[in-house]
């Protein structure tokens, strides 16, 4: 049986079989991912539990211009939206610096940043180098912008949306996120978690 990519709406599991090892090259436990999901509900859209090492990840997402921003400013920007969005998009290609969000698992003095964020504290974070391999604007339905992005490990898409909105001049936030690829593995090749369970039963003889 070939390598397969298993997922449900909430979780994704990569199962290796017919390989020299029955275990993935890198294992991330369900417990750690569910803990991460408490900090970012978007993770539950398609969250890997076990996966091979991959240099890039593909996401399909939506960002929304901030509704609490001055409407006259939003309307003014909307008049030149296509040109403005394209100009900003080009700034987010290649290697760039990104400041991680407060709601992240990055450690500060031995504790994850989200621990401080929940207390209303803001910690100064150093920018990190990330690589945006591809950034496509798929559809513009203001105030919503639909996009697809291929990026390196360690990229925070929520921060991409926030920084993008700041560059435009009206602010933006991430309103939808779905991981579609991890390296060579495509969610289109996925099985549901129930199919995954049936496959395990069929291969182990357990019911």
Residues carrying an active site annotation: 40
For the chain, counts of helices (H) and of strands (E): 6, 13
Would you state the structure tokens that stand for residue 104, as one six-digit string?
Answer: 């992240």
| Residue 137 contacts residue 146 (beta carbons within 8 Å) | yes
| Residue 98 contacts residue 156 (beta carbons within 8 Å) | yes
Tracing tokens 């040109």 back to the chain, one arrives at: 83
Compute the distance between CA of residue 93 and CA of residue 133 in angstroms, rounded to an integer: 7
Torsion of CA 110, 131, 46, 195, to 10 degrees: -120
Which are the contacts of 80, defined by CB distance < 8 A and separation ≥ 6? none
Compute the distance between CA of residue 106 and CA of residue 111 in angstroms, rounded to an integer: 8
């Amino acid at each position: 049986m070939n390598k397969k990519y298993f997922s449900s709406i909430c979780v994704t599991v990569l199962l290796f079989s017919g390989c020299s090892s029955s275990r993935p090259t890198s294992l991330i436990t369900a417990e750690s991912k569910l803990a991460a999901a408490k900090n970012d509900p978007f993770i539950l859209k398609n969250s890997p539990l076990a996966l091979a090492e991959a240099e890039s990840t593909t996401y399909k997402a939506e960002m929304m211009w901030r509704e609490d921003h001055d409407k006259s400013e939003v309307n003014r920007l909307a008049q030149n939206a296509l040109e403005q969005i394209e100009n900003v998009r080009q700034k987010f290609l290649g290697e760039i610096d990104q400041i991680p969000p407060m709601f992240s698992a990055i450690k500060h003095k031995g504790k994850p940043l989200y621990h401080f964020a929940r207390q209303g504290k803001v910690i100064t974070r150093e920018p990190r180098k990330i690589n945006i391999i591809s950034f496509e604007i798929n559809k513009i339905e203001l105030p919503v912008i639909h996009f697809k992005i291929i990026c390196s490990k360690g990229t925070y898409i929520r921060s991409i949306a926030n920084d993008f909105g700041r560059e435009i001049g009206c602010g933006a936030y991430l309103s939808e996120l779905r991981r579609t690829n991890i390296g060579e593995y495509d969610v289109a090749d996925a099985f549901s978690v129930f199919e995954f369970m049936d496959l395990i039963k069929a291969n182990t003889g357990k019911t």
